[in-house]
Structure 1
Amino acid sequence: MSQEPDNPHASGGKSSNLEDAQPNSLDKPDQSIRKRIQQRTPSSHTRNTPQSSPPQFVLMEELMETSKDVTNMALAHEIVVNGGFQLKPAELPEGSLEKRVREIVHKAFWDCLEAQLSDDPPTYDHAIKLVGEIKETLLSFLLPGHSRLRNQITEVLDLELIKQQAENGALDISKLVEFIIGMMGTLCAPARDEEIRKLKNIHEIVPLFRAIFSVLDLMKMDMANFAVSSIRPHLMQQSVEYERKKFQEILEKQPNSLDFVTDWLQEATDDLVNLRYKNPPSCDIAAAASDVPVLCPVSVQNRAYLKLLKWDHMQRPFPETVLMDQARFQEMQLELEELTLTGAVLLVTLNAAGTALSGLPGFADKIKMVIKVLLTGMHHPSFNLSETLAAIGEKVCAEVNNCLSQHGFTLFTTERETGLKGQIQALANPDETICKLIDSRIQTLLESYLASSHQKSFPAIPGGLGPIQRELEEIAVKYVRLVNYNKMVFSPYYDALLNEILKKVAQQPVKPEES
């Protein structure tokens, strides 16, 4: 946005625009948390004593305050975590009652305006009110230094003068509209220049007014998004304290808001205890099992974060402190599942092709592209994995033979093709050895990223993951950034909970699991 006092190409906005647009922009995290709060709010039917109206009113008031805190926290979090965050205008579902009512009301309004302007002499009551709204909107786009533009708008769109002109039959509505369009062109972002040009080609007053308000709505959204981008650097400096403060306020109103976090950390602790017993540090298994090994809170947290990438989102509630990022963790989980299968197919293919092809530049990338295309929509309910893997087997064998032919090597025999296709089709079973191997190595890599998150260099890629290294690193960087931010915000709560959990574990020796 230009900072010249009288030539702003606006893409910023007022806080009111943020408030108007934010519910549509935060549907998933905001509504998930609100729903969680409402589910936990005690109902009057669960009390042993009858409740009178005043306590119920207070309960609803607290719920509304908590909901507001959640909305503010979710908005701040989204702005900080999502670098591409933008507010978008609310779009009502097609065919919904609300959409139909809005269309009917709008049509009635514009029909009324059309009727007034068609009178002889014309009646300008509605038109003048619209000009007043446009005036206020244009003034809202101005920065404090835009005094000349403010004076122009105030002078030309003087409602008292316009009313007098209308009463005396001297009002030229087309000149007012021409000024409005010109001012919109001065204030709008460059991306809206095309919309402004279209306005100049509309000559009927009522359709022109409708189009003007439509473009003004777009300009408001541009302003709001500019405001978001402007406050992001400042918000990032204070977001950790702000989110922690807001969560504490929610916790004070809903004391059980850490129940799922406690379960989550407890499970991670249990996992590590069991792993320690399966792989005891001492050669004397009995001695190693006599006491629970000392567990590090950091390792428990890292284990807990890894569990978020294996979460059953349909059956299990997400921990409260990561609820705002559930969609992001779920997206990474789906990406990793697809990448695990891709890595497994590549490993099988490269082993079957041998060193003759596996070392050729670009060969693995060709196979990877074939797999990626065919696995598109892998998590859609109608996706048939077995059929897709069969198709991948056919394509991979064709690509392998093509490369062998180009480089003068002997083509695959029918038996080798059948064997490779069978190995690829077997990967439909997630418990297949190759799938479990790739998945285990991906988990190891992500754990290494968490453990070395403050180091500049990336951890070494485990064997077999080389062909998918770039994709894994992209996911790992996003994952670690999200985890580190979450740790900064909620570390006091995690530390307190883990202190109690680990204290109990240390006091209650557990016998090793029998194999």
Structure 2
Amino acid sequence: MSQNPDKPHSSEEKLSGVEDGQEESSDNPDRSVRKRIRQSAPGSHRDDTPKSSPPRPVSIEELMETAKGVTNMALAHEIVVNGDFQIKPAELPEHSLEKKVRDIVHKAFWDCLEAQLKEDPPTYDHAIKLLGEIKETLLSFLLPGHTRLRSQITEVLDLDLIKQEAENGALDISKLVEFVIGMMGTLCAPARDDEIKKLKDIREIVPLFRAIFSVLDLMKMDMANFAVSSIRPKLMQQSAEYERKKFQEFLEKQPNSLDFVTRWLQEAADDLVKLRCKMLPPHCSDDSATGGASALSSTAVQNQAYLKLLKWDHVNRPFPETVLMDQSRFQEIQLELEQLVVTGTVLLVTFSAAGAALVDVPGFAEKIKSIVKVLLAGMHHPSFNLQESLASVAEKVCAELNSCLSQHGFTPFSAERETVLKGQIQAVANPDNTICKLLDSRIQKFLENYLASSHQKLLPAVPGGLSPIQRELEEIAVKYVRLVNCNKMVFSPYYDAVLGKILTKEESRLVGKAEES
């Protein structure tokens, strides 16, 4: 079944309801966002930071309004930065009191409906109410231009006529339900075709009504998610201004709320100044020093700052205020990159040990990557033992290596060569491992180049040694740069204001360094 052209596209109107529902159903995530903001807000960790002005009293109303703004901002931001964002129905915990109460109420309702339909003659009060709800739901899926479908639904599900037929014993409930199922099949997405077919196999009226409402709930989710995907391009244009406005409201209620951002950007500028100073010749003129300073642009400092987020100490150091909503995303990317460095190093030493024999063997690199991924799952948990896991990786890799060599007519590794390779793989656990450091440096350089050229559609060339993990690296890079660019778009006015002072000071430092030399 193909999707009907009358498929509902009610985007903005439905998204409004979706947003309200999201606020009510995702209480804990929003509370988590507000908690992170409070924890990293000024005053949480800065007894040593001079205050520019004393905090003023904040009313309960202001706090509630700010909290609502954070909630809405978090939802809009999630839709923009997460291409896979979907609204899902809230699921109550299996043994929770709420679920028990809901199940009892639902059972009582359906039992009552069944009892009414078994009366002689049947009573249709509950059934007619359900048909009215179904009618309203079907109509809600339509756009104003869907006049033919609207007329059909209104005509067949005419509640006044249905009541008259029920009173006169002429109501054919099965015929009405058949029409409902047919209309649902017309309006549903292709992914729901199987659910619609299953409805046609249900013969008893009460289970059929229950199943119809279950599928209608799925269709509501489909419609809401279609609305989200439809509105995303428009939302991307408007979200920067919206998020900036909400963030400004937060700043007005929290004194000194850019301290961590200032410190973060200052450190990034310091990193670049150190690099520029190293590059200055021993005896340089004022002009050359000024040229070095001019290269320290706002964009370069911001890129360096965002690269620093991939090496952040999330346990001991507060996150910059502007990127708080995305702290978990940056942390996830950081962990993915750390595991990718280990995977790349294992592949590199394995291919180096095997020589040219297995470089072009289809599927071998993917097999090694899958082994490493499985055995290193959870490597960032406190209880994880990297040394032991790498010993298991070494055993599995050597077994796979010898199997592949034998399969393709090569001589398997001797016990001595196996021992050497296992030792090289286990040495990856050493924080000072030379190969790990080299791959990590090249990955950081790749991300730096991608940030610098993010306006271009093509990814920069992958540095040498990273080809076995190129696909994974590029997937992470795309996700990372999209996240950075979304944040830049929102907070660039704040960064420009902070960097205006920083860059002036750093330019003076560079000129001073040049004069000293």
Q: With structure 1 as the length reference, what TM-score do the two structures score?
A: 0.82
What residue is the counterpart of 1:236 in the other structure?
Answer: 236
For residues 463 and 146 of structure 1, do their structure 2 counterparts lie closer, same or farther at Cα, with a shift above 3 Å needed? Answer: closer
Q: Which residue type is aligned with residue 442 of structure 1?
A: I
For residues 202 and 460 of structure 1, do their structure 2 counterparts lie closer, same or farther at Cα, with a shift above 3 Å needed? Answer: closer
What residue is the counterpart of 2:208 in the other structure?
Answer: 208
How far does residue 220 in structure 1 lie from its aligned partner after superposition?
A: 0.9
How far does residue 241 in structure 1 lie from its aligned partner after superposition?
A: 3.0
Q: Secondary structure at the match of 2:429?
A: coil
For residues 210 and 402 of structure 1, do their structure 2 counterparts lie closer, same or farther at Cα, with a shift above 3 Å needed? Answer: closer
What residue is the counterpart of 1:107 in the other structure?
Answer: 107
CA displacement 1:418-474 (0-9 Å, x = unmatched): 222112112112232222222122112211222232345543433332332332223
Q: In 2, are the aligned partners of 1:21 and 1:87 still within 8 Å (CA)?
A: no
How far does residue 149 in structure 1 lie from its aligned partner after superposition?
A: 2.2
Name which of structure 1's ranges 86-95 and 323-332 shifts more when overlaid on structure 2: 323-332
> Equivalents in 2 of 1:297, 1:117: separation in Å?
73
Q: Secondary structure at the match of 1:83?
A: coil
Name which of structure 1's ranges 312-321 and 209-218 shifts more when overlaid on structure 2: 312-321
What residue is the counterpart of 2:47 in the other structure?
Answer: none
> Equivalents in 2 of 1:364, 1:203: separation in Å?
54
What residue is the counterpart of 1:436 in the other structure?
Answer: 437
What residue is the counterpart of 1:427 in the other structure?
Answer: 428
> Equivalents in 1 of 2:430, 2:354: separation in Å?
23
1:445 aligns with 2:481: no
Q: Which residue type is aligned with residue 145 of structure 1?
A: G
> Equivalents in 1 of 2:463, 2:435: separation in Å?
14
Q: Secondary structure at the match of 2:464?
A: coil
> Equivalents in 2 of 1:219, 1:406: separation in Å?
51
Q: How does 1:474-493 map to 2 (within 5 A)?
A: 474-493=475-494
What residue is the counterpart of 2:350 in the other structure?
Answer: 349
CA displacement 1:349-387 (0-9 Å, x = unmatched): 333344x44755556555445434443443455543222
Q: In 2, are the aligned partners of 1:17 and 1:220 still within 8 Å (CA)?
A: no
What residue is the counterpart of 1:51 in the other structure?
Answer: none
> Equivalents in 2 of 1:185, 1:365: separation in Å?
42
Q: In 2, are the aligned partners of 1:309 and 1:330 still within 8 Å (CA)?
A: yes
Q: Which residue type is aligned with residue 95 of structure 2?
A: G
Q: In 1, are the aligned partners of 2:165 and 2:171 still within 8 Å (CA)?
A: yes
CA displacement 1:112-169 (0-9 Å, x = unmatched): 3333334444433333222221111111111112222222222232223333333444
What residue is the counterpart of 1:339 in the other structure?
Answer: 340
For residues 17 and 177 of structure 1, do their structure 2 counterparts lie closer, same or farther at Cα, with a shift above 3 Å needed? Answer: farther
> Equivalents in 2 of 1:284, 1:412: separation in Å?
56
> Equivalents in 1 of 2:380, 2:149: separation in Å?
54
How far does residue 213 in structure 1 lie from its aligned partner after superposition?
A: 1.2
For residues 199 and 412 of structure 1, do their structure 2 counterparts lie closer, same or farther at Cα, with a shift above 3 Å needed? Answer: closer
How far does residue 197 in structure 1 lie from its aligned partner after superposition?
A: 2.2
Q: In 1, are the aligned partners of 2:42 and 2:257 still within 8 Å (CA)?
A: no
For residues 405 and 112 of structure 1, do their structure 2 counterparts lie closer, same or farther at Cα, with a shift above 3 Å needed? Answer: closer
What residue is the counterpart of 2:266 in the other structure?
Answer: 266
For residues 390 and 125 of structure 1, do their structure 2 counterparts lie closer, same or farther at Cα, with a shift above 3 Å needed? Answer: same
> Equivalents in 1 of 2:202, 2:411: separation in Å?
70
How far does residue 306 in structure 1 lie from its aligned partner after superposition?
A: 0.9
> Equivalents in 1 of 2:194, 2:186: separation in Å?
13
CA displacement 1:264-294 (0-9 Å, x = unmatched): 22332343345556x3523269x9xx99x73
For residues 359 and 115 of structure 1, do their structure 2 counterparts lie closer, same or farther at Cα, with a shift above 3 Å needed? Answer: closer
> Equivalents in 2 of 1:209, 1:180: separation in Å?
10
Name which of structure 1's ranges 424-433 and 372-381 shifts more when overlaid on structure 2: 372-381
Q: How does 1:45-444 map to 2 (within 5 A)?
A: 59-275=59-275, 279=278, 281-283=280-282, 294=293, 295-354=296-355, 356-357=356-357, 360=360, 362=362, 364=365, 367-380=368-381, 383-401=384-402, 412-444=413-445
Q: Which residue type is aligned with residue 307 of structure 1?
A: K
Q: With structure 2 as the length reference, what TM-score do the two structures score?
A: 0.82
> Equivalents in 2 of 1:154, 1:41: separation in Å?
58
Root mean square deviation of aligned Cα: 3.7
> Equivalents in 2 of 1:27, 1:430: separation in Å?
40
> Equivalents in 2 of 1:408, 1:196: separation in Å?
55
1:501 aligns with 2:487: no
For residues 37 and 448 of structure 1, do their structure 2 counterparts lie closer, same or farther at Cα, with a shift above 3 Å needed? Answer: closer
Q: Which residue type is aligned with residue 175 of structure 1?
A: K
How far does residue 82 in structure 1 lie from its aligned partner after superposition?
A: 2.4
Q: In 2, are the aligned partners of 1:18 and 1:224 still within 8 Å (CA)?
A: yes
> Equivalents in 2 of 1:493, 1:436: separation in Å?
34
How far does residue 303 in structure 1 lie from its aligned partner after superposition?
A: 1.4
> Equivalents in 1 of 2:320, 2:266: separation in Å?
12
> Equivalents in 1 of 2:348, 2:191: separation in Å?
47
CA displacement 1:210-258 (0-9 Å, x = unmatched): 2221111111111111212222233233333333333334433445543
> Equivalents in 1 of 2:42, 2:304: separation in Å?
31
Name which of structure 1's ranges 183-192 and 113-122 shifts more when overlaid on structure 2: 113-122
For residues 188 and 370 of structure 1, do their structure 2 counterparts lie closer, same or farther at Cα, with a shift above 3 Å needed? Answer: closer
Q: In 1, are the aligned partners of 2:358 and 2:405 still within 8 Å (CA)?
A: no
> Equivalents in 1 of 2:408, 2:116: separation in Å?
81
Q: Which residue type is aligned with residue 63 of structure 1?
A: L
Q: Secondary structure at the match of 2:87?
A: coil
> Equivalents in 2 of 1:229, 1:60: separation in Å?
36
Q: In 1, are the aligned partners of 2:357 and 2:410 still within 8 Å (CA)?
A: no
For residues 194 and 24 of structure 1, do their structure 2 counterparts lie closer, same or farther at Cα, with a shift above 3 Å needed? Answer: farther
Q: Secondary structure at the match of 1:427?
A: helix
How far does residue 340 in structure 1 lie from its aligned partner after superposition?
A: 0.4
> Equivalents in 1 of 2:409, 2:163: separation in Å?
89
Q: Secondary structure at the match of 1:95?
A: coil
CA displacement 1:77-120 (0-9 Å, x = unmatched): 33332223221111122212222222222222223333333444
Q: In 1, are the aligned partners of 2:3 and 2:189 still within 8 Å (CA)?
A: no
Q: Which residue type is aligned with residue 64 of structure 2?
A: M
> Equivalents in 2 of 1:109, 1:408: separation in Å?
71
What residue is the counterpart of 2:15 in the other structure?
Answer: 15
Name which of structure 1's ranges 345-354 and 298-307 shifts more when overlaid on structure 2: 345-354
Q: Which residue type is aligned with residue 195 of structure 2?
A: E
Number of residue pairs aligned between Structure 1 and Structure 2? 493
> Equivalents in 1 of 2:109, 2:25: separation in Å?
29
For residues 214 and 11 of structure 1, do their structure 2 counterparts lie closer, same or farther at Cα, with a shift above 3 Å needed? Answer: farther
> Equivalents in 2 of 1:128, 1:407: separation in Å?
71
Q: Which residue type is aligned with residue 238 of structure 2?
A: Q
Unaligned runs of 5+ in 1: 44-54
